[in-house]
């Protein structure tokens, strides 16, 4: 058992914690980072399919509008440490960057590990000490945070930064400890729920197409009131439980009220063709395969596993000779290609989500400093806060900006 005294203790060596630690240590403060796993920034290492989409090269206003979960809370932190400054920092740490479609920023090497290494060096070269230890509670003294109790003893400090992440991908270390510690000192935790997450469907035909991954489709999501909540173009995947893939994950962040709403997805399987052009195309195929049954005439238009589902939903018996399919039936088929329905049941569990929405209630946190309004000396950074963004690098930008803000704000009393 040991007990150490430093200016700042950071709980969690993830993206936000290491950014906070490097920033605070760079100001000359003594910083101890507690990390409960054997790894630092393990989740960062798997971001962007191992390529790490570390931010988005956009304006402040665009960044805020891509943070549906409490974007306004982020104004101050984002203007202080915007994407451009994040990029400058990583380039200065020897990670050249490139901007891709949708202003997504990646390392030129396409290696998330390079971002992890650079961030770890940033924290350690600035003087932060990394300690393998699991924090279990915030120690308070005379109404202030004064340390952290851990599985290896108590650590004391003037300030504590809680950067333990959310509930997603618990194998990377973020398994809700932060919520328990924050709640124990009086913070309200907004119910954590999944965002950027695969979706379960009530339609059993999704499972029959499991593994089929249509590319270049357009996806529209409509809520129970008929309001369009999402529309975009890209790639998706059918799974045994429903749907996944980049387009679906993005869509899920817009379905924010499963308690009071239900959502239906409409997939346009042929977005490059309008209804008339698609009808002409189907007619051409029907002419080409005029002696076949309907179920054997769709091979040029749809993936193999999808054909039996299209036949079923079209209501046209599969053994109908193509030349006897009526115009009305054909137009129904056109509609099916242009608006293939998937009824959403619910999101997959938060553990499978890319990010956790919910967390420490931002009403109880000062947006200019990230300090708790309830317990002076306690600060928050990253996904533990009730802030979440869409895909495109916005979630890591939240981690960088809040981590930087907390690192700049801690220990002012010691200067
Ligand atoms: C598969 C996947 C891909 C993603 N891709 C992208 C992407 O390309 N772009 C993007 O912007 N975002 C992406 N994200 C989201 C992004 O990774 C997170 O939003 C970000 O990592 C949050 O950073 P954080 O530091 O707040 O939390 P985390 O990265 O989760 O770090 C928290 C750290 O705290 C430690 N910890 C927890 N409890 C304790 C405790 N009690 N004591 C000590 N240590 C503790 C954990 O072990 C962990 O190291 C992705 C997420 C996933 C799961």
Q: Which residues line ligand 1 (CB under 6 A)?
A: 11-17, 34-37, 42-44, 46-48, 52-53, 134-135, 163-165, 168-169, 172-174, 177-178, 354-355, 382-383, 393-396, 399
Q: How many CB atoms lie within 10 A of CB 193?
A: 20
Model's pTM, two decimal places? 0.93
Question: According to the model, what pLDDT value does residue 2 have?
Answer: 47
Produce one character per residue of 265-284: b if its CB has 16 or more CB atoms within 10 Å, e if not. Answer: bbbbbbeebeeeebbebbee
Cβ 40 vs Cβ 19: under 8 Å: no
Q: Which residues contact 288 (CB under 8 A, 6 or more apart)?
A: 300
Question: pLDDT (tens digit, 9 = 90+) per residue, 96-155?
Answer: 999 999 999 999 999 999 999 999 999 999 999 999 999 999 999 999 999 999 999 999
Return d(Cα 44, Cα 49) in angstroms, integer: 10
Question: pLDDT (tens digit, 9 = 90+) per residue, 35-53?
Answer: 999 999 999 999 999 999 9
Q: Where are the domains of the chain?
A: 4-194+351-414, 198-347
Question: According to the model, what pLDDT value does residue 69 have?
Answer: 84
Residue 307's H or E segment, with its range, is: helix 307-314
How far is the CA of 281 from the CAs of 273, 286, 287, 309, in angstroms?
A: 9, 9, 10, 20
- The angle subtended at Cα 158 by Cα 153 and Cα 164, nearest 5°, is 60
Cβ 381 vs Cβ 159: under 8 Å: no
Closest CA to 10 of 114, 118, 113, 155: 155
CA terminus-to-terminus distance, the chain: 30
- Tell me which residue has its CA closest to atom 5 in ligand 1: 47
In the chain, which stretches have pLDDT less than 50?
1-2, 414-415
Question: According to the model, what pLDDT value does residue 413 have?
Answer: 55
**Cα 117 to ligand 1 centroid, rounded to whole Å:** 15
Helix (H, G, I), strand (E, B) or coil at 223: strand
Return d(Cα 177, Cα 192) in angstroms, integer: 13
Return d(Cα 164, Cα 181) in angstroms, integer: 10
Superfamily of segment(s) 4-194+351-414: FAD/NAD(P)-binding domain (3.50.50.60)
Question: pLDDT (tens digit, 9 = 90+) per residue, 176-192?
Answer: 999 999 999 999 999 99
Question: According to the model, what pLDDT value does residue 3 have?
Answer: 56
Strand partners, 195: 355
């Amino acid at each position: 058992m040991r007990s150490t005294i430093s200016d700042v203790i950071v709980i969690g060596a993830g993206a936000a914690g290491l950014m906070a630690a490097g920033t605070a240590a760079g100001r000359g403060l003594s910083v101890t980072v507690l990390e409960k796993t054997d790894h630092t920034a393990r989740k960062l290492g798997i971001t962007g399919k191992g390529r790490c989409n570390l931010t988005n090269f956009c304006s402040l206003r665009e960044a805020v509008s891509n943070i549906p979960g409490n974007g306004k809370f982020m104004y101050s932190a984002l203007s202080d440490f915007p994407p451009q400054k994040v990029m400058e920092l990583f380039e200065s740490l020897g990670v050249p960057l490139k901007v891709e479609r949708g202003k997504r920023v990646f390392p030129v090497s396409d290696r998330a590990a390079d971002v992890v290494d650079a961030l770890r060096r940033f924290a350690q070269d600035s003087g932060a000490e990394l300690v393998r230890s699991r924090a279990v509670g915030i120690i308070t003294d005379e109404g202030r945070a004064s340390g952290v109790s851990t599985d290896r003893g108590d650590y004391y400090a003037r300030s504590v930064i809680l950067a333990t992440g959310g509930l997603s991908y618990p194998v990377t270390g973020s398994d809700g400890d932060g919520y328990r510690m924050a709640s124990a000192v009086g913070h309200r935790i907004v119910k954590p729920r999944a965002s950027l997450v695969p979706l379960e469907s009530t339609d059993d035909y999704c499972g029959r197409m499991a593994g089929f991954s249509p590319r270049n489709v357009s996806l529209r999501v409509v809520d129970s009131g008929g309001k369009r909540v999402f529309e975009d173009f890209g790639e998706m995947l059918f799974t045994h439980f429903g749907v996944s893939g980049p387009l679906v994950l993005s869509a899920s962040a817009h379905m924010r009220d499963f308690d009071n709403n239900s959502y239906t997805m409409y997939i346009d399987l042929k977005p490059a063709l309008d209804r008339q052009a698609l009808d002409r195309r189907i007619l051409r195929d029907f002419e080409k395969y005029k002696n076949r049954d309907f179920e054997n005439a769709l091979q040029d238009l749809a993936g193999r596993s999808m054909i039996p589902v299209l036949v079923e939903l079209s209501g046209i018996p599969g053994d109908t000779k193509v030349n006897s399919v009526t115009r009305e039936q054909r137009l129904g088929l056109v509609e099916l290609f242009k608006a293939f329905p998937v009824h959403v049941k619910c999101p997959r569990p938060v553990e499978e989500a890319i990010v956790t929405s919910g967390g420490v209630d931002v009403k109880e946190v000062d947006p200019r400093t990230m300090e708790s309004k309830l317990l002076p000396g306690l600060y928050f950074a990253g996904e533990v806060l009730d802030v979440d963004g869409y895909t495109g690098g916005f979630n890591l930008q939240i981690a960088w900006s809040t981590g930087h803000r907390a690192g700049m704000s801690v220990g002012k009393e010691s200067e």
